[in-house]
Amino acid sequence: MELKFDVIDRLLPIFEPYRYKVLYGGRSSGKTATIIRYLIIRAIERKTKIICARELEGSINESTYAEIRDFIYDNNLQYDRENKNGLFYVGASTITCTNGSEFKFKGLRSGVLKLKSIPNIDICFIEEAETITNDVWEILIPTIRKEGSEIIVCFNPRDRESATYQRFIEAPQRDNELRIEINYPDNPFNSQTILDEIAYLKEHDYARYEHVYLGKVLDMTEDVIFKGKTKILDMSLEHDGRTWRYENKAIEMFYGMDFGFSTDPAAMVELCFLDKKTIYINREIYETKLLPNKYMERIKEVMPESKGKQWYADSARPDSIAQLAFDGLKVEGAEKFKGSIEAGLEYLQGFTIIINPACKNMIYEAHNYKYKTDKDSGKVTVDIIDANNHCLTGDTLVDTVDGQVKISDLVGESGLVWSYNEDTKLPELNRFYDVRETNKSADVYEIEMDDGRVIKATGYHPVLTQRGWVIVDELTEEDSILNILF
């Protein structure tokens, strides 16, 4: 049987013999897909015992098992008993090759000691290795002791201080260790769909783009509001069909959402209190261009157990709340008042906040929700930077359904404003909510137009130009601000 698999050129060295093979970088880089190809080829070439591990194995269908199984089926490598051809037997939890090679799938948090009883391991592949602790590494590495054995480490960097980052990136490289940093530009097999998603994120949230797709670590500087308050850990909650349980005790889940608008994403979160001082964020929904009439569909997909539970949402969006209530969601507005954000943050800072590693957007937000730093003194202030509160100053005229109106006259009101539909490339009327005054400590930029008009806005405000949406403090003299109505 002749086999031909596409492999990314940058990752070809993993087919060479090394004790450690470390692949790290952003998403859509092809790391896991290439490793699976290597493992399949190795299993076919000679009898090989392969352990595929991650911190928590969870449902076997959500693990590396599913990816290897699907690859075997997609390439017609499964053994056909009727025709007596093929190479792999796919079992319920293991995969074996006709030559005796075998794949086993393990979780490391509770099962690393069990690996010591498995003899003659040839390859141990650790997927999503970012969350593996130093204690686990200290047990795992000596366990893979067969002559010529390999340890393959694959992860998207998140925390510079993590045990995995310190051991395989910061530490001096061993002579028998291969390290490859790879990101999406190195992967020629990405679909146009994902490339469009990457381009959108790059344009609208460059810092998140760098972390998600270029593998930049999230450093917690002194201005980070939740510095020292968060941990990234899967607490393995279970749902018994009626209620959530943690360590066999029933716990109550709480649900909240923030409505998206324009380039700001809709965000929904599921959390609980593990004890009096610990909050655990279990699941999230985070999407741009998600309209309220589609929220229920996503909630049913991601958080089906929330059916009949109380949700809390932004009280400044009564129309959206009414839409969700009509769709069957039990939802009420969260009271907002002057200083409510500061009061909420002060309350949260009294807790340790544990975030499920699957909640990648929440992790990012926790690392990037910051206090403002005084430009002159360099000292951290008590003012909060909210990059999602893009502001034009109150004297700016905006085009509403009732004509041009000063923003200051719209504070506390709702209505219809002309906006730009990126899909149709046409202007359209959309409802506005929650108009606020510009943060008094925010830097305000003045943009002089060719016709003499001046626009005043904070640096984070996006402006539509000939090269797409650009935030104000990144505009250049070559940019042309587009008028969507004329």
**Domains (range + CATH), the chain:** 9-191 (3.40.50.300), 230-377 (3.30.420.280), 397-474 (2.170.16.10)
Helix (H) or strand (E) holding 293: none
* pLDDT score for 389: 47
* pLDDT score for 360: 86
* pLDDT score for 158: 85
* pLDDT score for 218: 74
* pLDDT score for 330: 92
* pLDDT score for 437: 57
* pLDDT score for 388: 46
Alpha helices per DSSP H over 166-307? 192-204, 206-214, 295-302
* pLDDT score for 415: 75
Angle between helices 31-45 and 64-74 (to 10 degrees): 70
β-pairing verdict for 102-107 and 380-385: unpaired
Q: Euclidean distance between the first and final Cα of the chain, in Å?
A: 65
* pLDDT score for 439: 53
* pLDDT score for 352: 93
* pLDDT score for 418: 79
The rounded distance, in Å, linking the Cα atoms of 436 and 417 is 15
Stretches where the chain sits below pLDDT 70 are 1-2, 58-62, 220-221, 261-263, 338, 375-376, 382, 386-394, 412, 414, 422-423, 431-443, 459-460, 484-486
DSSP annotation of 330? -
